[in-house]
Amino acid sequence: MKGTGATLTVVGGILLVVGIATLVNATSNSYTNSYGSTQTSTSGNAAAGAVAYLLGLGGLGAGIPLWIVGAHQQRKYSKRLEGFTLRFNVTPQGRGITLARRF
């Protein structure tokens, strides 16, 4: 969860910045031609910018909580494993093998 959250956060942040830059650079000009009709010309791709922006927001919105929860669970399970030991004991004369687990 921690790794997935970090990846989503980074990719979402990049997409957010790219989407904002694309939206800012997209222009739309309207003018009236000699016949009286309105013409519109556009430069840039505002639709791609909007998609990148929305995907970036989604990536950040999902990635940050995943990253936080994954880091919390990693710490919790690391503490549990610190005191965990597993031993195989062989009795003298080879009469038995025991498995001991300690927390």
Q: Which of 17-21, 46-50, 92-96 has the highest mean pLDDT?
A: 17-21
Largest CA distance in the chain: 108
Write down the domain spans for the chain: 2-102
Residue 102 confidence (pLDDT): 59
- Taking only the tens place, the pLDDT of each residue in 20-52 is 999 998 887 888 888 888 888 778 888 999 999
Burial 7-40 (b: 16+ CB within 10 A, else e): ebbeebeebbebbeebbeebeeeeeeeeeeeeee
Mean pLDDT of 6-13: 95
What six digits make up the tokens of 53? 């922006």
- Taking only the tens place, the pLDDT of each residue in 55-77 is 999 999 999 999 999 999 988 87
Strand segments, DSSP code E, in 1-103 are 27-32, 38-43, 85-90, 97-102
Residue 75 confidence (pLDDT): 84
What pLDDT band is residue 78 in, cutting at 50, 70 and 90?
Answer: confident
Using CA atoms in the order 65, 55, 22, 20, what is the torsion angle rounded to 10 degrees? -30
Q: 89 pLDDT exceeds 90? A: no
Enter the pTM of the model.
0.65
